[in-house]
Amino acid sequence: MALEKATITYATPEGEEKIAVRFNPTQYSLDHGNQIAEIGIPGLSAPILQYVRGNTRTLSMELLFDTYEERTDVRKAFTDKIYKLLEILPSTHAPPICTFAWKDVILTCVLERVGGRFTMFLEDGTPVRATLTVSFKEYQTVDQLVRNTPTESADHTKTYTVKLGDTLSSIAAAEYGSPAQWRPIASANQIDNPRTLTPGRVLVIPPLL
């Protein structure tokens, strides 16, 4: 049975030719993580860790292209199509969105970078073999990110570093989704006057019960 070939399909703009990967990658890496901030508090032996945001998934691999048997230029046949995914579209002022699909790996993404090595040539110097190291960043619309991100009120104790212009109401709006929920923050931090906050002060953000 023939092996399923990896493909790269344009999501935008529509109508562009699907890119077929002639030789499937021998391996790939899919990286994901979170951004964690360290908040130093005087008197503690270690900083408090606070979740900031999630990071985008990154898919990386090497793709091999070979046109030696056809004795044609591997750039025109294959690699130029990959590099084209980096070009900025006039309509969106951004590179095209595409879908990388291979077996159970399906990622809507944009091409972040390409590194190319050309290692075989015809007598006239025409390259016929190339290895491209590619890295794709997952693409999600704002609506998708909102749907995939929990929006319930905080249910874990956190900390917040006061910035210039912050009020308890603005902090409650950012942390709980409601400016009216400032009293739990005031109570947890023994704040008598909610109108006066010192920039740089680290506040405890308690869970809403």
pLDDT in tens, 25-39: 999 999 999 988 887
Same domain, 139 and 167: no
**Is-above-0.95 flag for pTM?**
no
Same domain, 45 and 99: yes
pLDDT at 65: 96
Q: How far apart are CA 43 and CA 187, in angstroms?
A: 22
**Any idea which residue has 């249910």 for tokens?**
155
> What sign for the dihedral angle of Cα 168, 170, 174, 180?
positive
Q: What CATH number is associated with residue 172? A: 3.10.350.10
Q: Is residue 196 part of a domain?
A: yes
Q: Is residue 162 part of a domain?
A: yes
pLDDT at 149: 63
pLDDT at 40: 78
Same domain, 91 and 168: no
Same domain, 84 and 178: no
Q: Is residue 2 part of a domain?
A: no
- Name 104's Cβ contacts closer than 8 Å, sequence gap at least 6: none
Cα 23 vs. chain centroid, distance in angstroms? 26
Q: Is residue 1 part of a domain?
A: no
pLDDT at 124: 97
| Residue spans of the chain under pLDDT 50 | 1, 153
Which residues form the domain of 191? 152-205
> Into how many domains does the chain fold?
2
Q: Using an 8 Å Cβ cutoff, are 52 and 37 in contact? A: yes
**Any idea which residue has 């190291």 for tokens?**
133
Same domain, 175 and 115: no
Q: 177: closest CA among 151, 195, 203?
A: 151
Q: Using an 8 Å Cβ cutoff, are 45 and 56 in contact? A: no
Structure tokens belonging to residue 95: 């590179």
Helices (H) and strands (E) in the chain, counts: 5, 11
